Structure 1
Amino acid sequence: MNDPLELESIADKRKFAGFVILLVLCAAAVRLALAEQYPGFISDQRLFVQWMESVRDLGLGGAFAANGQINYPPLFLWIMSLYGDLLHALGISANAGSVSFKSLLILIDLAAIALVIKLASSVGNYNWRSFTIVLFALNPALMTDSAVWGQVDILHSMLMLLAVIWLPRRPFMSGIIFALAMLTKFQAITVFPVIGIWLLTGLAKERKFRPLLMWAAGFVCPWIATLGYFGAAGSLGKMISQAYTDAVGFYTSATMNAMNIWFYVMGTDPNTPDTEYMAIGITIRNFGFLLLFLAVVGICLYIYRSREESITVLLKASASLCLAFFMLPTEIHERYSIPALVFTLLVLLKDKKWTLPAGLLTLTVLMNLIIVLDDNVNYGTGVWMAIVNLFVLLWMFRSLWTGAGRDPVPAAAAKAGDA
């Protein structure tokens, strides 16, 4: 005779599978409707389409050599070229502001949702698992960034997330994925201190050399292939300068529409050049870097001291560091908040208390994107977001330190759904 509990479990799994299928279809439908209704940020999309055509005509190496406007690393360009080849085979032209181009971004979104569903499978509580998946799949801020704006911030954000999550158990793959994140967008470097201090902590406390060596080996592999390819194409220097070195310090405003401390919270007009000196004798830019450095030190100390389960520590530290990167330095764009939001949403799989920052960040990131799209960035529309974001950042740091000495969650509790 079948066990009633086993039959109930099978029924729950089938019910959840049906829910997931409907959710993914709904997520795709909503994104397609938004992409059709709103053209988004046309200048970004026009550049992407131009880069896509350049890569299709000249190859990756030739595109960087001939097109000085390319300022993204090569991985997304390569993905766009594959998508462009598919459209060309179907006789379709990709146009900025239309579904023909945004469908690529929607496909990347759906892949991200599938990954989150997989990562959430360890949560035994079906209700909480469903809530976290819905919050990610139908997150209005994430949908606005891709289906409306026409950007691809979810790609490097998910690669950063995967590199962090795989770090404790699959360091070689973590290194590969982090290299791919860096080859997607330079902003991925944000979580490197988290990865580095975790590896060094294992080395210092437990004399574990293998994770560090495996991670480094994985990280090197994609770079060897990339540098070899662009070196052979004669465009290595152009790729490095356009995608990485020239991107730093290109804009000198205290904030580039990011609702952070430099949007009036510090008493600084957002348009103030960050090369100006502050009263204490250093530039605004250097003071922002100093604040970020202090945040990095604090987060590294949390990783070193914390006794929570490894994945929980890494997710919380990464979420806090990504938000600190958005909030504290100068020259930050509004979309640089997306990795912080992604990591915060995934922390919910481990700690329900992070529902508050997840909800508040969803609101502020969404509204930040909307006012930029509407060309309506001013003190009245934005300062409240900067204040809320600062509150969330301080809440995160307080949460890190209050949980630094917490013992790991027992396995039985984790299986029961105490995420």
Structure 2
Amino acid sequence: MQKLIENSPIKWHHILFFSLLVAIIPHTGFWFDLNNDWPRWSAYALEHGLSQIYNSDTNYMPIYLHGLYWFGKLHGTKELIYANSYQLKYFFLLFDFAGAIAIAYALRKYYTRQFAEYMLLFNMGYLYCTTIWGQLDSVPTTIVILAIICLFERKLLWASLFCTLSIYAKLQAIVFLPFFAILLVYQLSVKFDKILILKILAVSIIAQLILLSPFILGGTFSNFLKVVRESVGFFPRVSVNAFNIWYLLLKQDPTSINDTLTFAGLTYKKWGFLMFFALSAITFLPLIINTLNTILSKKSLDQDYYALLWLTAATTAIVFFFVNTQMHERYSFPAIPMYFAYSLLTNRYSIFALTSVAHLMNVDGTNKYLGLNPYKPEFTAIIFGIILFLSLVRLYKGFKFKLILS
């Protein structure tokens, strides 16, 4: 038992620090979610049952709704749900800790720095969304991180579970599906196993059935599909407080411009998609070529590949946030822990630090709780542009297009 505790990634100081944060984080947050939507949906599920929650005005994916249902069951009454809605922060904080600890533990053989996870857990840019804003971005981000780690380490059944859960936590996680596919192709090239493939599919299907069964049996599955269909276009603005490229391209405030307006024959929304897909292709190319060469040369995945993987993932998160329309201020969050993983593998921390600062400037520049960003949004947008540029430079430094054919 003592050996099990010693080998556990969760240490006493993690529990102590988590308890400290629970004691001191404010009970306030983004009112429309923390004190309005979430307790209302939780109370609705308590009164009508989880199976009927999609008959409310919710536009969230199933994992959160399962959580809100049990949050309501835990408190038992509508009054207690509203009075204690701030406690949802504690649940989200678990995922902040899980993401930081998972990265530090999974990469521990590649670095010597002690207590590395506290570079995230003492990082206000990383914790702000949960502790101050009261948002849940750490949930899908941590699930994506766990999926990437499991795929790299060939824990493919766990990877299948986390890949599936990531989509049902937040639909935007779909931008990371190429990573899952690329790593899966490599792992299956090492050892192709039909039974394993069937098990992978089975895990994914079972997880989906568990998540969706209340709505299928309750007759509200069509409402869930409607939420999925309408998730793109729910906030038809060029920016929803994301300090990104649109603040540099447009003279008017992007939050006041409908993204269905046209420029040069295309809507702003489509221009965002074009930039996203073009930059994504540029971002993914080194990883794809490197993976193919690794397969053809029959080599094992090494530290350099792992660093390239995390750098590509982080850059993709920045690209998604920086050029698309309808982006919220929090959508650069996944890049912070991913750049952190890259930093641990390379001992290069500049982009990680810069992203932490830029993200904090954006979320507090919108929320204004701490008053940390007195500058115009354009200044933060320039920093994000620099982050993207530096990331692409790192991706292509020493990169060769040549495939190993023998």
How many angstroms does 1:72 deviate by?
A: 0.8
Distance 1:278 1:167, change over 3 A: same
Equivalent residues, number: 381
Q: In structure 2, what is the equivalent of residue 384 of structure 1?
A: 379
Whether 2:19 is the aligned partner of 1:32: answer no
Q: What secondary structure is seen at the aligned counterpart in 1 of 2:240?
A: coil
Which amino acid in the other structure matches residue 324 of structure 1?
Answer: V
- Unaligned stretches of 5+ in structure 2? 295-300, 402-406
Kept in 1: contact 2:317–2:332 (CA 8 A): yes
Quote the Cα distance in structure 2 between the aligned partners of 1:42 and 1:62.
Answer: 24
Match of 1:334 in 2: 329
Distance 1:263 1:49 in 2: 34
Specify which of 133, 137, 149 is matched with residue 121 of structure 2: 137
Tell me which moved more, 369-378 or 387-396: 369-378
Q: 1:156 to 1:262 in 2, by over 3 A?
A: same
Number of the residue aligned with 1:122: 109
Q: 1:94 Cα shift?
A: 3.5
Query: 3-state SS of the aligned residue for 1:152?
Result: coil
Structure 1 pair 248/360, CA: closer, same or farther in 2 (3 Å)?
same
In the alignment, structure 1 residue 82 sits paired with structure 2 residue 70 = yes
- Is this contact kept in 2: 1:260–1:389, CA < 8 A? yes
TM-score by length of 1: 0.81
Note if contact 1:35-1:98 (Cα within 8 Å) is conserved in structure 2: no
Instruction: Give how far 1:200 is off.
Output: 4.2
* Equivalent of residue 42 in structure 1, options 26, 31, 34: 31
2:389 matched residue in structure 1 = 394
Which consecutive unaligned segments of at least 5 residues does structure 1 have?
Answer: 1-12, 407-419
Alignment of 1:12-411 (within 5 A): 21-22=12-13, 24-30=15-21, 32-36=23-27, 39-45=28-34, 46-65=36-55, 67=56, 69-88=57-76, 93-95=80-82, 99-125=86-112, 128-130=113-115, 132-168=116-152, 169-200=154-185, 208=192, 215-242=200-227, 244-265=228-249, 269-270=253-254, 271-279=256-264, 281-306=265-290, 309=302, 310-353=305-348, 355-374=349-368, 380-402=375-397, 404=399
Question: What's the offset of the Cα at 1:189?
Answer: 0.9
**Counterparts of 1:268 and 1:397, CA distance in 2:** 29
Relative distance call for 1:350 and 1:314 in structure 2 (3 A) is: same
SS at match of 2:327: coil
Following superposition, the deviation at residue 290 of structure 1 comes to: 0.8
**Following TM superposition, by how much is the alpha carbon of 1:342 offset from its aligned partner in structure 2, in angstroms?**
2.2
Shift in Å, 1:99: 4.3
Aligned to 2:297: none
Q: Give 3-state SS (helix, strand or coil) of 1:167's partner.
A: helix
User: Within 2, Cα distance between the matches of 1:267 and 1:96?
Assistant: 43
CA distances 1:32-76 after superposition (whole Å, capped 9, x unpaired): 32324xx121111121111222222222211112x1x21111112
CA gap of 1:377–1:54, structure 2 versus 1, over 3 A, is farther
Q: Which aligned segments of 4 or more residues in structure 1 are displaced greater than 6 angstroms? A: 16-19, 375-379
| RMSD of aligned residue pairs (Cα, Å) | 3.3
**Separation in structure 1 between the aligned mates of residue 208 and residue 138 of structure 2, nearest angstrom:** 22
Partner Cα distance (1:328, 1:212) in 2 = 36
Which residue identity does 2:340 align to in structure 1?
L
Instruction: Give 2:93's aligned amino acid.
Output: I
In 2: Cα distance, 1:72 partner to 1:19 partner: 30
Residues 231-285 of structure 1, C-alpha deviation per residue, up to 9 Å, x if partnerless? 211010111212x211111222111110110123465641222222223x22211
Report the Cα offset of residue 304 of structure 1: 1.7
What corresponds to 1:412 in structure 2?
none
**Hey, what's the Cα distance between the residues in 2 that align with 1:195 and 1:214?**
16
2-structure distance, mates of 1:55, 1:81: 6
How far the C-alpha of 1:315 sits from its partner, in A, is: 1.8
- Aligned partner of 1:416 in structure 2 is none
CA distance in 2, matches of 1:160, 1:120: 16
Which residue type is aligned with residue 93 of structure 1? L
User: 1:85 and 1:231, CA in 2 relative to 1: closer, same or farther beyond 3 A?
Assistant: closer
Q: CA deviation at 1:206?
A: 6.5
Deviation per residue, 1:314-369 (Å, 9 max, x gap): 3222111111111111111111111122211222231222x111111111111211
Per-residue deviation, 1:17? 9.7
What secondary structure does 1:234 align onto? Answer: coil
Q: Contact between 2:308 and 2:342, CA under 8 Å: does it hold in 1?
A: no
User: 8 Å contact 1:165–1:315 — kept in the other structure?
Assistant: no
Instruction: Tell me, yes or no, if the aligned pair for 2:98 and 2:142 is still in contact at 8 Å.
Output: no
* Residue in structure 1 matched with residue 404 of structure 2 by the alignment: none
Match of 1:411 in 2: none
The 1:31/1:144 distance shift into structure 2, 3 A limit, reads: farther
Q: 1:265 and 1:360, CA in 2 relative to 1: closer, same or farther beyond 3 A? A: farther
Q: Provide TM-score, normalisation by structure 2.
A: 0.83
Identity, in percent, stands at 23
Residue 119 of structure 1 deviates from its aligned partner by 2.5
1:165-186: per-residue Cα shift (whole Å, max 9, x none)?
Answer: 2113122221211111111111
